[in-house]
Structure 1
Amino acid sequence: MASKAEKKEKGARKHRKSVEVIDKSERYDFSYTQNRELSWLRFDARVLDEAYEESVPLFERLNFAAIFQSNLDEFFMIRVGGLSDLATLKRQPVDNKSNLTPAQQLELIFSTLPPLIRRQNDIVERIEASLAEAGVERVDAADLAGDDRTFVERYFQSYVSPVISPLVIDPRHPFPNLRNGALYLVCALESADEGNLLGLIEVPQSMNRIVAMPADGGTWRYILLEDVILSCLGSCFGSYAPLDRAVVRVTRNADIDPDGEGVEEDEDYRQHMKKILKKRLRLQPVALQVQGELAPATLKSIRKALGLPAHAVLSYTTPLDLSYIHGIEAHLPERSRSELLFPPFKPQASPMFDATRPIREQVIEGDKLLFYPYESMNPLLDLMHQAAFDDSCISMKITLYRVAKQSRLCESLIDAAENGKEVTVLMELRARFDEQNNIEWAERLEEAGCTVIYGSEGFKCHSKICQITYRDGMALTRITLLGTGNFNEKTAKLYSDFMLMTAHPGIGEDANAFFRNLALGNLAGDYRFLGVAPAGLKPLIMNGLNREIDRARAGEPARVFFKMNSLTDREVIDKIAEASQAGVDVEMIIRGISCLLPQVPGKTDNVHIRSIVGRFLEHARVYAFGVDADIVYLSSADMMTRNTEHRVEIAYPVLDATCRSMVQEYMRAQLSDNVKARVLSSEGTWQRVERGADEMPFDSQAYLLKHAYAQAEAAAERAAQARQDAAAQEHDGYEAAEGQPTVAEAAPDSPAATAVRATIIEPEAEPAPAAAPSPDAPKHALAKRTPGRLRAGIALIGMGLKTLLTGTPEERAKHKRS
């Protein structure tokens, strides 16, 4: 038995520990914050809501259900995986937004999940039933009969049976490693001689998962490969008879730190990343998904073999992996495609560019802003291609995080290197789930002669920046490209993002310094115009908030507008709460996680948060300060601690008045949305935007899409009119050629060349509206336009041809007299 002294010491230790916990909890005010994981699950539930939205085309609703499931898979691999590791620690860290330990957060997650999964099962079943009525039917294994069963059995014997490898699991054959995300058929096996046997078959990933079934004209029927195997399971295990059966899928922890695994001194970093990717397939399981019915004893043996608790088993009545739906879109009946899918859409030409002129010239004349996916990425791609073959281009530098598998941009980098340009590519190999694609591109770029470097240890390079340098004589010109999203042709058609193209000298100097610092591993560089994480981005945001706080405390109007994907950084959250309490109006659009709760009395009364989930993924990050948004920054970074302190990110100012007005128009449209927008309540739930009785529905994405089409059409009409005017001027010049006798007389009419400067030091003022003319003002006749160089030149050519064919005026007069 313990002595009194030992008991007293034990009690003292418990008291000290409780005091430590109290001290930690008192460091933060949890009244206006919520747990990150719970906030994320509520966001994914919002995605699932779109599957229930009957105004969305039927097949697109199925796609939203697939996105919900894909999001959940990644959540398990990263967030649940990371928390599971932390939950094994003897002294677990406490979350600074909810004061929960990792073990408590896992309990919260698994208690929240079952209703969400039931909702997913329910809506997928309902959508599939409606699709069957529209002519697209998925056949279930349980529904096979007659000719359908005969077809499936023959298909299985001919194509599937030679490929699969059934396993019998018994004491002599232990439970194998189940690959992360792969589908397996599992069943209990009946044997006269042995007990507790399991049968296991992996669904081969080398085969097409969709198997077309015989169908009448006008319909398309299919069965999934796992259902083909399931229906023929009785012939797979010889003398063993299958009993209960189900499709299962294991999700494993993928939250592995490549830098924490240790890189050998002589090891190629690409080879190191390849080993990390293989290791990810075998990490600790965090969840088991089951479609079908298994006996409790069977399920328990599988769960124990995987080392999973009972609450980590998730039951489904619909397919475990909905990614197959992308393979059936092409088979939708023509008669109903327009009803089942969103209307086809094509990113439009930006009205800021003239397709007939070199992109470089146009960017030097003034900043340009592309707005994906409403506007096409082509001007950027054309600029890169033109630079690759431009003799005056001497270097190209770029950071790449996620790249399309087939990338025009990367091909231009290869062309540039092969044409003798200096091409430097910082390829981030740690972009989660895009590592393999990035490794392959890094190898191709290096083979072509590009200098390929990788991010600093412990700091992913998430910034999106490119700089092209030209030399004309002794003068250097830099064009800098800065984005809120990746240099990725595929996502540029799906994600809402901004891309700034500028020749601003100050931004160019900062960008040049940024690439130089990256090459040297210096993450604390000094910049005039750019806010660069991990050292300079958060202070920039905090300074902007402080400016508005000072204005509010001085009795002046004060406002900030933030748009981001997630908000989790505790310092930024507390500063926003301070701004609210000072009287600053805080408007935010946060697509995903918001650990800040708005409208909490006395804490965040002036904070308003909304989210927009629609056809396009909202991905742009905007940080605007001032009632009139006189300071606007775009950024690659969310206000998450990982972005502000543990990644290389960039925030860049929008200095050009026209570009800034485009961003402001975008902000106004999104804040006016009352169809796809939801408002965050003080309880952390997303609520529909209430519309007034006379208020019309307004979908901001639909408006921006329509606006892009209208702008492109207007720009095309202006270009056509300009061509007509130019042709008319050329014709007038030819007709008037006889009236311009000599070169000496024509030359003074040609205007001198005008030098173009792109230097912008401060934000430009908004253009003032033109004053309306007074009705009493005298009317002036329009001044005759002096002929330009082209017109004068054509006139001279006309004169020369006329002289050649008919002679000089003196010769013609002499000939006429004779």
Structure 2
Amino acid sequence: EPHQIFRTKIPMKLAFIFAISDKLPESMKRSLIYHPFTPQNSAHVQEGNVMRQVKKRDILLYYPFESMNPFLKMIKEASSDPNVMTIKITIYRLAKKARLVEYLCAAAENGKDVTVLIELRARFDEQNNIDWSERMEEAGCRVIYGFESYKVHSKICLITYRNRNEIQYITQIGTGNYNEKTAAMYTDLSLMTANPAIGKDAAEFFKNMSIGNLDGTYEHLIVAPTSLKRKVLYLMDEEIKKGSGGRVIMKMNSLTDVDYIRKVCEASKAGVRVDLIVRGICCILPGIPEYTENVRIMSIVGRYLEHARIFSFGTGAEQKVYIGSADMMTRNTQKRVEVACPILDDSIRRQINHYLKVMLSDNVKARVMLCDGSYVKKTAESQVDSQAVFMEEAIYAKRVAPKEERRFGEWVKELIGSIRK
């Protein structure tokens, strides 16, 4: 209707703003632009062959505090490794200049079987994705264009290689796009693992995608539109059984799914402590007597766009943690292909728990939702800006990597203390 139509002279596409910042005078830049920060080389990745390191242990990267380069280097290594047979990847958004595509094309030209499932309907990036898909097809990559009624939004890559007479896998699963530009602007997690069970699931996933089967079953991966929401609700039921001993922490961009909202209310009524870190749209109110008394909701809007999705259920040895591409929105859980992966490595689970703890402590860029839907700033004696902490942490970790015999928690306390000083 007429009253629902809004007219504006502001351009819908605002990419030109990034070019403007480079042309500002220095005097204006100082007051308008953040002090430059370069994503750091991860302290978890040593010099040398990345594939070889991933085969020994799982590696988690945290963009933009840590650089995307180890993942790109791994794809480059795979493109020329004689033992690598196939590289398969799902792509939603790519940068205008993408080293990833060049490495995938090089792999195809080197005789590797390269399969790319690319989503042509990524909003604002349709033409860019068409251009890249044509480039990859020309190089010999097999390009699949997804499904008519479902967007492919997952972020998963699978490298298959021969080890003597065995077929083995390296799998990468992330929360963000394979976009080298946004990897320096969005907070995202990227897991690289040689876990054979996850690799078999990933191989099954790509097989199902190639034949248009959305109803596949997997041992570890949870995949929308079939199992992801069902698994999340089941894991929340497990916490509900614990009553006041239950614990749920979930971080996402937006929350609109009605089934999930009802389950959060059920968990709260059972006494489960629920913390939701939701950057944007959130269709549930905390602190409603007899409904959401045990629910706390906060939003972090800082220098970088909060984009990581983390699902944590329980505490201690029984805790289950997943990272993935999906928000708890009906469009994601029912109309998109999404993938979430369990964190099976204890040290990485501690790493993610640390990230969650710092984010929940944020009182600079965080705002807490009240029961009327309004947001207020948290008050505390000492200030914690989670993104600033992670920036300092990445710099400090690379400079003074913790000794193996020192417990991770002790190192973190020392690190946070040095940052505050």
Give the alignment's TM-score, normalised by structure 2.
Answer: 0.92
1:338 CA displacement: 3.3
Whether 1:625 and 2:313 are equivalent positions in the alignment is yes
Structure 2 residue aligned with 1:351: 43
Whether 1:326 and 2:18 are equivalent positions in the alignment is yes
Structure 1 residues 503 and 689: CA distance shift in structure 2, 3 A: same
Structure 2 residue aligned with 1:637: 326
Structure 1 residues 509 and 325: CA distance shift in structure 2, 3 A: closer
Matches within 5 A, 1:18-417: 286-289=5-8, 324-335=16-27, 337-355=29-47, 357-417=48-108
Bigger mean CA deviation after superposition, 337-346 or 418-427: 337-346
Whether 1:681 and 2:370 are equivalent positions in the alignment is yes
- The structure whose Rg is larger is 1
| Alpha-carbon separation, structure 2, partners of 1:328 and 1:480 | 39
1:668 CA displacement: 0.4
1:443 CA displacement: 0.6
Whether 1:705 and 2:396 are equivalent positions in the alignment is no
The one-character-per-residue Cα deviations of 1:214-251 (angstroms, maximum 9, x if unpaired) are xxxxxxxxxxxxxxxxxxxxxxxxxxxxxxxxxxxxxx
Q: Please, what is the CA RMSD of the aligned residues?
A: 2.1
Structure 1 residues 322 and 352: CA distance shift in structure 2, 3 A: closer
**Could you tell me which of 258, 270, 274 is aligned with 1:586?**
274
On the 8 A contact 1:557/1:627 being kept in 2, the answer is: no
Structure 2 residue aligned with 1:278: none
| Alpha-carbon separation, structure 1, partners of 2:67 and 2:233 | 34
Matches within 5 A, 1:384-533: 384-533=75-224
Structure 1 residues 421 and 604: CA distance shift in structure 2, 3 A: same
| Alpha-carbon separation, structure 2, partners of 1:339 and 1:524 | 52
* More strand as a share of residues: 2
1:404 CA displacement: 0.9
Amino acid at match of 1:704: F
The one-character-per-residue Cα deviations of 1:487-526 (angstroms, maximum 9, x if unpaired) are 1111100000000000001000000000000011110111
1:322 CA displacement: 6.6
Report SS of the residue matched to 2:315.
coil
Structure 1 residues 593 and 696: CA distance shift in structure 2, 3 A: same
| Alpha-carbon separation, structure 2, partners of 1:337 and 1:688 | 27
Amino acid at match of 2:240: I
| Alpha-carbon separation, structure 2, partners of 1:447 and 1:351 | 38
Amino acid at match of 1:713: R
| Alpha-carbon separation, structure 2, partners of 1:452 and 1:324 | 30
1:392 CA displacement: 0.8
Amino acid at match of 1:590: V
1:689 CA displacement: 1.2
1:331 CA displacement: 3.1
1:289 CA displacement: 2.2
The one-character-per-residue Cα deviations of 1:273-328 (angstroms, maximum 9, x if unpaired) are xxxxxxxxxxxxx43225xxxxxxxxxxxxxxxxxxxxxxxxx9xx9987654343
Report SS of the residue matched to 2:310.
strand
On the 8 A contact 1:531/1:652 being kept in 2, the answer is: yes
| Alpha-carbon separation, structure 1, partners of 2:162 and 2:20 | 52
- Percentage of matched positions with identical amino acids: 50
Give the unaligned 5+ runs of structure 1: 1-83, 85-105, 111-285, 291-315, 719-765, 770-818
**Could you tell me which of 285, 289, 314 is aligned with 1:601?**
289
Matches within 5 A, 1:721-732: none
| Alpha-carbon separation, structure 2, partners of 1:577 and 1:650 | 25
| Alpha-carbon separation, structure 2, partners of 1:659 and 1:688 | 31
| Alpha-carbon separation, structure 2, partners of 1:353 and 1:455 | 34
1:535 CA displacement: 0.5
* Greater RCO, 1 or 2 (C-alpha within 8 Å, sep 6+): 2
Give the unaligned 5+ runs of structure 2: 411-421
Amino acid at match of 1:340: L
| Alpha-carbon separation, structure 1, partners of 2:278 and 2:209 | 30
Report SS of the residue matched to 2:347.
helix
On the 8 A contact 1:567/1:593 being kept in 2, the answer is: yes
1:333 CA displacement: 2.7
Give the alignment's TM-score, normalised by structure 1.
Answer: 0.48
Report SS of the residue matched to 1:690.
coil
On the 8 A contact 1:542/1:575 being kept in 2, the answer is: yes
1:473 CA displacement: 2.7
* More helix as a share of residues: 1
Amino acid at match of 2:331: R
1:635 CA displacement: 1.2
Structure 1 residues 597 and 418: CA distance shift in structure 2, 3 A: same
Report SS of the residue matched to 1:669.
helix
Whether 1:547 and 2:238 are equivalent positions in the alignment is yes
Report SS of the residue matched to 1:289.
coil
The one-character-per-residue Cα deviations of 1:69-111 (angstroms, maximum 9, x if unpaired) are xxxxxxxxxxxxxxx6xxxxxxxxxxxxxxxxxxxxx96xx6x
Structure 2 residue aligned with 1:658: 347
Structure 2 residue aligned with 1:232: none
1:335 CA displacement: 4.6
| Alpha-carbon separation, structure 2, partners of 1:577 and 1:377 | 38
1:767 CA displacement: 8.6
Structure 1 residues 539 and 393: CA distance shift in structure 2, 3 A: same
Bigger mean CA deviation after superposition, 332-341 or 499-508: 332-341
| Alpha-carbon separation, structure 1, partners of 2:14 and 2:215 | 44
Structure 1 residues 350 and 321: CA distance shift in structure 2, 3 A: closer
Amino acid at match of 1:655: L
The one-character-per-residue Cα deviations of 1:460-497 (angstroms, maximum 9, x if unpaired) are 11000000011133122200000001111111000000
| Alpha-carbon separation, structure 1, partners of 2:236 and 2:14 | 43
Structure 2 residue aligned with 1:569: 257
